[in-house]
Homo-oligomer: A and B are copies of this chain.
Amino acid sequence: MKKTLLIVCDGLGDRLVDGLTPLEAAETPNMDSMAKEGVCGLMDTVLMGVRPGSDTAHLSLFGYDPFKYYTGRGPFEAAGVGLDLRQGDVAFRCNFASIKDGKIIDRRAGRQEEGLDELTREINNIKIEGAELIYKKAAGHRAVLVLRGAGLSPKVSDTDPEGEKVEYNQSKALDGSREARKTAELLNDFTDKVVELLAEHDVNKKRADSNKLPANIVLARGAGMKASIPSFKQKYALSAACISATTLINGVAREVGMDLIEVDGATGHVDSDVGAKATAAIKALESYDFVFLHLKGTDEASHDGNFKSKKEMIERIDREVIGPILREIKDATIALTADHSTPVGIKQHSADPVPIAILGDVRTDDVERFTERDCARGGLNRIRGLYLLNILLDISNRIKLFGA
């Protein structure tokens, strides 16, 4: 039995720009040595032709079918900020935002945190009829809202229009159910009361005095209900840890029962201290059977449409993460892949399959570089993300026989 390390570079996969993907353009001697000494392939993290979100992709990569377990990002955001949801809770990802004359002027309240802790405390004192509410601030302008009570449903639309210079939305039931209608009404009631509470609030007067945009509304999206998910330990009988600086990913990992390891200097951005994360992963592998290491910067550069920044982030991961890991970890199964493609040309997630390389007790192939097109000729052919963890644990000789 061996230990297993899964390294995911968020949004790593790409399409051709002037004939090359960022991964092809980057100098990646360490990733390439994984390709050379391991077995490679392509992977559809959710399903061929499905554009994965980061949450659905990671559920799938951890072996949980998102078509079964996913109702929305809310519960994973809640888990990511340390809220323990109960069965029946409906959770939303929220933003503090700024409105003027009923229209959104900034979806992130200028990204300024001044007074948001105080507003959070007061929002928690709001009473809405028919459910308990829990509101927790996350990093920056972000927050999570949980509605707790009987007869709720995640089938409701967002109040966040995800645009500016428009009015915020009234939440609506997405199906005809009484539960959805009730939940939408509760969310609209909550929103109205927040707007009323914050309109003339002292915090916003102070923000105005220092030329900051007001935090005078909370926009909610991604309603989801806590799923009844078998824990990672139940499912795989091993101890597992997650190293990520992204709330949503930590939330998914926490929901399936992984331990979360925090790393100083890990920011989830292109400036993150990825070397410190690699060091933490190497150390974690001493005490855990399975370690998941998530690196977000590649996705951030992709959403910015910045080829050069993505290429440089890849090169830094190669040098500061993959290099040390290959030097330090000698007898484990190590996989390198992505949760989805985020082509810089379209600045959004796509369904293009991602490259994968697995190092360990594997049947090697002729692939010499870790790129999308080289891995397409690899010995794994094209696999589905939902099966990845079992494939890795099998290479580590850790899964049970099915049958006799």
Contact = CB atoms under 8 A, between A and B. Distances in A.
A56 B363 contact: no
Contacts of A15: 361-363
B55 A394 contact: no
Contact of A394 (B351, B380, B383, B384): B351
Given A365-B373, A381-B376, A403 B54 contact: yes
A364 interface: yes
A372 B365 CA distance: 10
Interface in A133-187: none
Contacts of A42: 381
Interface residues of A, number: 60
Contacts of A387: 47-49
A15 B351 CA distance: 32
A316 interface: no
Contacts of A363: 15-16, 21, 352, 372-373, 376
B402 A51 contact: yes
A86 to B, nearest CB: 22
A394 B352 contact: yes
Interface string A354-392: 000000011111000000110011011111100111110
Determine the main DSSP class of A at the interface with B: loop
Given A47-B387, A391-B351, A402 B361 contact: no
Contacts of A47: 387
B404 A54 contact: yes
B361 A52 contact: no
A45 B321 CA distance: 36
A109 interface: no
Given A49-B399, A53-B403, A363-B376, 6 more contacts: A15-B362, A49-B387, A49-B389, A50-B402, A53-B402, A350-B397
26 contacts: A16-B361, A16-B362, A16-B363, A16-B364, A42-B381, A48-B383, A49-B393, A49-B394, A52-B403, A54-B404, A56-B403, A70-B403, A73-B403, A73-B404, A346-B397, A348-B401, A352-B363, A352-B394, A363-B372, A365-B376, A373-B379, A376-B381, A381-B381, A381-B382, A382-B382, A382-B383
